[in-house]
Chains A and B, each alone.
Chain A
Amino acid sequence: MSSVEVRNLVKKYGAFTAVRDASFKAESGSLISILGPSGCGKTTTLRTIAGFEDITSGEILLDDRPLANTPPWRRNIGIVFQSYALFPFMTVGANVGYGLKMRKLAKSDIDRRTDEALKRVGLPDSQSKYPRQLSGGQRQRVALARALVFEPDVMLLDEPLSALDAKLRDEMRFELKRIQKQSGVTTLLVTHDQEEAFTLSDQIVVMNNAIVKQVGTPREIWDQPGSAFVADFIGVENIFPAETVAGGIEISGNRFSAGSPNNRPDPFKVGFRSSDLVLVDADNVETENRITGEVIGEAYTGDSNVYQVQTGLGAEPVILKSKKDQKLHGNVHMRLPPEKILVLEED
């Protein structure tokens, strides 16, 4: 097991920059996700770590040892591809044993370790099957076994769950976590699915437009998204431009009291979650941080009602989440608790 560090990584294709000055570190034995929309440079970053792409500048360090001049076949990195990339003309056993065979292990050792690896991913006795005889979830398990059997220093996963249907995805998410914890291998996962990143990771690297926007634990990213992009991407529904005024902030001329003005970038935006808004009665005397508006749209999500409320904060309606049995119409009054206001860097 090893730590992986990416330092000031730049990858250019001609005039196009796919990754711009990315830095982050995955501690030994941890699981780190690169989260971002498609085309943000996350897969390119993964491929440079695997060695399939040269780097334009910067460094990739495996336990403080630079990887730049090591070709992929000497990196000892296990990779699970989005398409799984199982060899269709080989049996499951041969697929899993391939990495061991390349490492010139004795036949009996290869067989024993292949059996162990398949058992570990929950597919014992499938050595003689062919990949086409397996379901999507089983193929995924074989791909995991193949990537782990030779005890790699690092495992890379490219959108590992995207090819599975929703139910199987939930199941495999737990499996993936279990297998990663059990093997203790340092794992780097690339995904566009924030839920996947939040549930699996020790650390999340959020990327957009070739740039690392934020690095942090899931909790840190959830509680303190640093920029409007990150907030939007992790599902903060309400984001408005704001400015600092005496004693607080102002959104389109509406004054709010907010936390300390220190470290407030300029210009900045504020964000707040639909679930953090508190409904208040129209005759409530407390007027601080009050938002008033008219319901213009609603949707049921099963356990709550979601409303679009047109307010004075901007042209975009405010999104408000209420409890299942709470029906709203006409004018509504909401309070925005100061501690729930997220200060965001503009992108």
Chain B
Amino acid sequence: MLLAGRSLSVAMMVFGFLFLLGPILIVVVSSFTSASYLTFPPTEYSVRWYAEVFSLSWFTRSIVSSFVIAIIATAISAVVGILVARALARGTFKAKALVELVVLTPLLLPVIVLGFALFNILVYFALEGNNFVNLIGGHVLITVPFVVRSVWSAMAGTDISLEEASLGLGAPPFVTFMNVVLPMARPGIVSGGILAFTYSFNDVSLSIFLTGPSATTLPVQMMSHIEYSADPTPAAISTIMLTITLVIFVITSRTVGLKIFAEK
């Protein structure tokens, strides 16, 4: 009986992995095809689509702007998110429930609705041409909830006497915030930041309304590429992005550890 339960759970695990990773594996393998259309498994292997990717005029431009936008948006989200989380975790003001709702709404709302609304507002104020700024602003909007949530739970779980100890030892509130509150919230800040960065880097539904001639992002460019072409370049780009994600993941696990994703 116990043995049967054990092999069943092993089977479930294998199935789970296949289900999660199978499609990604197929994309990776088929990106190495030599044919000019996607096949699985490829009849002949080559790296010609990788060469093709780097010759695409939009690739380098959009991957760089995607990175820059994601980094700036994450930084702003982190600052805003930490302050909001602090207020929610320790503040005792009446509008707390309202703030909580407003901050977390972007998580509940379909992003495409948010994007459409944002686009209309920008058009109303004739600001739709500032693609770079708009993209950053939009990404801050949708990533702040991630930071708030994870930092808030880290702060709420911190013993308040640590702060009081710091105050009692002679550290004024701001010094206490920097010396004690932030270090205690660090796991939440790191995991919230990583989530925010990933979300910003991958977003299509919001960015599609905000991109334009002056700035665009990689996922949006891939979408429009897929619209009129069936060549395997998106598979090659996907593989490149996957590699970047894996590298970030490994660096994170080596420096701050993977526990930050599992905790709370």
The closest CB in chain A to the CB of B180 belongs to A87
Query: What residues of chain A lie closer than 8 Å to B169, measured between beta carbons?
Result: 73, 98-99, 102, 146, 150
Decide if A89 touches B170 in the complex (CB within 8 Å). no
Within 8 A of A (CB), among B151-180: 159, 161-162, 164-173, 175-176, 179-180
Cβ-based interface call for A78 (8 A): yes
Decide if A103 touches B170 in the complex (CB within 8 Å). yes
Tell me whether A83 and B159 are in contact in the complex, defined as CB-CB below 8 angstroms, given that A98-B169, A150-B169 are known contacts: yes
Measured in the bound complex, the distance between the Cα atoms of B164 and A79 in whole Å is: 9
How many of chain B's residues have a CB under 8 angstroms from any CB in A? 20
CB distance from B184 to the nearest CB of A (A): 7
Measured in the bound complex, the distance between the Cα atoms of B167 and A82 in whole Å is: 16
Cβ-based interface call for A31 (8 A): no
One of B162, B168, B172 near A77 (C-beta < 8 A): B168
Measured in the bound complex, the distance between the Cα atoms of B159 and A77 in whole Å is: 20
Interface of B is mostly: helix
Within 8 A of B (CB), among A42-92: 50-52, 71-79, 81-83, 85-89
Query: What residues of chain A lie closer than 8 Å to B16, measured between beta carbons?
Result: none
- Count CB-based A-B contacts (< 8 Å): 64
Q: With A78-B168, A102-B170 given, name 6 new contacts (CB 8 A).
A: A73-B167, A73-B173, A87-B165, A89-B186, A146-B165, A150-B170
Measured in the bound complex, the distance between the Cα atoms of B165 and A77 in whole Å is: 10
Measured in the bound complex, the distance between the Cα atoms of B176 and A87 in whole Å is: 11
The closest CB in chain A to the CB of B168 belongs to A79
29 contacts between A and B (CB under 8 A): A52-B164, A52-B167, A52-B168, A72-B164, A73-B168, A73-B169, A73-B171, A73-B172, A73-B173, A78-B168, A79-B164, A79-B168, A81-B161, A81-B164, A82-B161, A85-B161, A85-B162, A86-B165, A87-B183, A89-B184, A98-B166, A98-B179, A99-B170, A102-B169, A102-B170, A102-B171, A146-B165, A146-B169, A150-B170
Tell me whether A102 and B175 are in contact in the complex, defined as CB-CB below 8 angstroms, given that A89-B183, A146-B169 are known contacts: yes
The closest CB in chain A to the CB of B176 belongs to A73
Query: What residues of chain A lie closer than 8 Å to B164, measured between beta carbons?
Result: 50, 52, 72, 79, 81, 85
Query: What residues of chain B lie closer than 8 Å to A73, measured between beta carbons?
Result: 167-173, 176
- The list of the 4 closest CB pairs from A to B, nearest first, reads A102-B170, A99-B169, A85-B161, A85-B165
Measured in the bound complex, the distance between the Cα atoms of B121 and A251 in whole Å is: 85
CB distance from B99 to the nearest CB of A (A): 23
Interface residues of A (CB under 8 A from B): 50-52, 71-79, 81-83, 85-89, 98-99, 102-103, 146, 150
Measured in the bound complex, the distance between the Cα atoms of B186 and A76 in whole Å is: 29
CB distance from A86 to the nearest CB of B (A): 8
CB distance from A157 to the nearest CB of B (A): 12
Decide if A83 touches B168 in the complex (CB within 8 Å). no
Decide if A72 touches B184 in the complex (CB within 8 Å). no
Query: What residues of chain B lie closer than 8 Å to A79, measured between beta carbons?
Result: 164-165, 168
CB distance from B180 to the nearest CB of A (A): 6
Decide if A85 touches B170 in the complex (CB within 8 Å). no
CB distance from B170 to the nearest CB of A (A): 4
Query: What residues of chain A lie closer than 8 Å to B173, measured between beta carbons?
Result: 73
Within 8 A of A (CB), among B119-172: 159, 161-162, 164-172
CB distance from A191 to the nearest CB of B (A): 17
Within 8 A of A (CB), among B162-212: 162, 164-173, 175-176, 179-180, 183-184, 186
Query: What residues of chain A lie closer than 8 Å to B172, measured between beta carbons?
Result: 71, 73
Most buried by B among A77, A79, A85, A150: A85
Decide if A83 touches B161 in the complex (CB within 8 Å). yes
Query: What residues of chain B lie closer than 8 Å to A72, measured between beta carbons?
Result: 164, 167-168
Measured in the bound complex, the distance between the Cα atoms of B162 and A313 in whole Å is: 53
Most buried by B among A71, A86, A89, A146: A89
CB distance from B149 to the nearest CB of A (A): 22
Query: What residues of chain B lie closer than 8 Å to A83, measured between beta carbons?
Result: 159, 161
Measured in the bound complex, the distance between the Cα atoms of B5 and A38 in whole Å is: 50
The closest CB in chain A to the CB of B159 belongs to A83
Most buried by B among A73, A79, A99, A150: A73
